[in-house]
A = this chain, B = another copy of it.
C-alpha cells in the first residue's frame, strides 16, 4: 500500500527554492506518494489567508506538509497557523546564520530567483543565446568564445545539457555532433580540433542509444545496434586520442552530466 500525502510549496517569491528544497527532502521517503502543489507569489496578508484556507481545505485525510520559503515575517506567521506540518527555510537557518555573521538579516523577497545582479543575469541570458546559436554544430561563428564544447554522437544528450549549462550557470556551451566522416577518420573535424581543449564528450551504451534512436527512426541503420556500437567505439577512441574527458550519459540526468562536466573542465566558480 502506498501512502499519499499532500504537499504545498509556498513562497512569497517564485516557489522554485521551496520546490527544490522540499523535493530533496521528500526524495528520502520512498514509501509515499506526494501530491505536490506550488503556491507562488504570496506577497500580501490577503494572499496569505487565502493560502491558509487552501491548505486547510485540502481533501486529504492527514494534514498536509508545507515547505515554505517566505521571507516576509508577517506573511510567514500567518502561513504557519495553517493546519499542517509547517517548515520554513528561513525559520530554520536564518537565526544560526545571524549569530554566525553577527548581524541581523535584511529580509528582501524574491532575491533567490530575481535579477539580483543585473550584469550577471545579462551574461546568463547571453549564454542561452550563444548555446542556441551553437546547438548541434549549427554555427562555427565565435566557437572560440565557448566555455565548453559538448561533442557526441547523435542522441547522447548534447542539446539539453548545453541548455542547462547556459541557463543555470551562464556558461557559453556549444555542442557538436560527431558524424560518419569523423567516425571513419577517427579524428575530430578541423573546426573542432582548434577548440579540443574545451571539448567534453558524451557517450551512451549501445543499447541505450539504440532505444533512443529507435523512437525517432525505428528499423533504420541509424538505430541498429551495430551502428550504435560502431559510433560509440569510434567516439570513445577519438576522446581518448585527444584526451577529451567524457561521461556515459545513459544513467545520468542532465544535471548530473553538467555537474561532472563542470568538475572535469574546471568550470566551477
Contact = CB atoms under 8 A, between A and B. Distances in A.
A16 B259 contact: yes
Contacts of A28: 71, 90, 94, 97, 105-108, 111
B25 A256 contact: no
This chain: copies in complex: 2
A112 interface: yes
Interface string A228-267: 0000000000000000000000011111101110010000
A37 B28 CA distance: 25
A128 B163 contact: yes
A232 to B, nearest CB: 19
A106 B32 CA distance: 12
Interface stretch (A75-83, A113-121, A179-187, A196-204): A113-121
Contacts of A20: 16-17, 20-21, 112
A40 B261 CA distance: 11
Interface string A1-22: 0010100000001111100110
A110 B38 contact: no
Nearest to A25: B93
Given A92-B93, A163-B128, A65 B29 contact: no
7 interchain residue pairs of minimum CB distance: A27-B111, A113-B255, A14-B259, A28-B105, A24-B112, A17-B24, A128-B160
Interface of A: 3, 5, 13-17, 20-21, 23-32, 36-38, 40-41, 65, 69, 71, 85, 87, 89-90, 92-94, 96-97, 100-101, 103, 105-108, 110-116, 121, 124-125, 128-129, 132, 135, 157, 159-160, 163-164, 167-168, 251-256, 258-260, 263, 268-269
